[in-house]
Structure 1
């Protein structure tokens, strides 16, 4: 039974009316902090609802309230996803959920947001930057367009020219100093890598490639021509890009390597002997 004060209808302990009450939401009780008497019940549990099924993995999240809304998704991240069935009534591959109710654009966004989060984790960036990056990606045409990056870049330049304006673009030089420093490369290699990357962009050898991938490929080329050779994996770990991404940019630059190096660069490994990949 609940004990209440007659005037204010407040639940309290009859023996200790001024004592504070402890709310046990799991049990649905209100308990006197002085004597432990249960003075109220049927308290609403405002926490997550949990359940346990014997056929679920031990490390799976048992919360049934779902994830938070994501305003960047077209369906506010509330699309129904049917989980895998088990037993004789199961159908299809129980390893994967049925995602037919989620739009393809939302799936693309979720994948992109995951990649952004992974890159931010490698650089210990705060959540505010991750959120801003997600918003910018959502606003970009690349997220929903089948047009190539090269064509988008060409149209972007035409728009800037038509509007007679300019924007601060991220360039390979924005990454060189940090990447080379973290790789313990000497100044002459950094200078050569910076020259290689800038020349490759100026000659339009790497159209559509990101500044980070071009910078990483330029560092790889410069280091391979010096005594301070670095592998694609070493550079990729520092730059936060995959080995295959570095190779793709490097393969575009390799045939014209002689044009890319500074004239005063002292080769330890001649251009002809650089890795062809």
Structure 2
């Protein structure tokens, strides 16, 4: 039984006539002439009907979930379920049959990776497009039998980081590490290995990618977010922070903007959110402070004037 590709079928008279699907018969029919242009169409979605008995909490649904394109064999696994009648037990009262799901070892690795990626994405509130791309990246690594000696969790986290950057919602290694079972260092190593193995090039994280997120975690208003973004960009354009990490630059810019506003945040608070040690944040702040007059946007409303800001 073959699946019909709806993008290829069309009615012969006239060709541009719209097609409708007869769900009951599994046919694709021309709306104007009634010609059946595709039959025995398979619905790969999950069963939408339920046969559950609310009183006994038994749900004898006839099929499982929707097809998983990551798994070989379209996830057609076998589930043996134990019975509840007299014939299901031997003379000693032991169950003759136990629930057992037969899953290939290769599919098990994909399932575990997919589960890990989904859990991390849920905790970081990432869109499904990121999850799908990360799953595909992991499958490419798995099918090519590359990096077999590496931790599945580390590779999964690295694939998610790459997918985030490709989808325009970059996450730092620290942010991913905080909600996963893998350390920041392991994710960084796996990230480089996956890039080299798949020959993938992704843009580095810049201050604009993380500024809004960091300020949101710190509970800062939009005026401070705009000021910190402008401070970081101007500092980069003037070459004040050349060679410094975008995360430390963003943290130092937030310190300047917040200390000049009524919503002040300490270097430690900001460093913890940005995942940068306090000493590093302080050093970058000291590079920015002497040029603070040029860094602040002209329309910024100061609560604390620049000459009253902390020097270090």
TM-score, length-normalised on structure 2? 0.41
TM-score of the superposition, structure 1-length normalised?
0.45
Structure of larger gyration radius: 1
